[in-house]
Amino acid sequence: MSPKKTSLSNAPKLSESMSSDACVPMRVAETVTAPELPALFVADVHLSEKHPRTTAAFLDFLSGPARQAGSVFILGDLFEYWAGDDDAGSVFNRSICEALSALTATGITVYFMTGNRDLLAGQGFAHASGVQLLADMVSVRSGSRMLLLSHGDALCTDDHDYQAFRLQVRNREWQAGFLAQPLDARRAFIENLREQSETAKTEKRSEIMDVSAEAVTSLLRSHAYPTLIHGHTHRPARHTYLIDGHRCERHVLPDWRNQAVWLAFDGAEFSVCSAATLSLPAPLPLVGEGGA
In angstroms, the CA 153 to CA 162 distance is: 9
- The alpha helices in 9-159, defined as continuous H runs, are 52-63, 91-104, 123-129
Give residue number: closest CB to Mn ion: 232
Instruction: Please state the length of the chain.
Output: 292
Residue 45 three-state SS? coil
Site stretch for Mn ion (CB under 5 A), options 2-10, 107-115, 249-257, 275-283: 107-115
Least distance between Mn ion and beta carbon 116 (Å): 4
Least distance between Mn ion and beta carbon 198 (Å): 13
Q: Considering the rule CB under 5 A, would residue 233 count as an interface residue with Mn ion?
A: no
User: Residue 101, exposed/middle/buried by CB under 10 A (0-12, 13-18, 19+)?
Assistant: middle
Q: Considering the rule CB under 5 A, would residue 234 count as an interface residue with Mn ion?
A: no
Q: Considering the rule CB under 5 A, would residue 115 count as an interface residue with Mn ion?
A: yes
Closer to Mn ion by CB, 162 or 241: give it.
Answer: 162
Pair type for strands 39-42 and 261-265? antiparallel
Site stretch for Mn ion (CB under 5 A), options 30-38, 92-100, 214-222, 230-238: 230-238
The only residue of 37, 69, 77, 133 in contact with Mn ion, by rule CB under 5 A: 77
Residues 6+ apart with CB under 8 A from 90: none
Q: Considering the rule CB under 5 A, would residue 232 count as an interface residue with Mn ion?
A: yes
Total chain residues near Mn ion (CB under 5 A): 4
How many Cβ atoms sit within 10 Å of the Cβ of residue 134? Answer: 25
Residues that bind Mn ion (CB under 5 A): 77, 115-116, 232
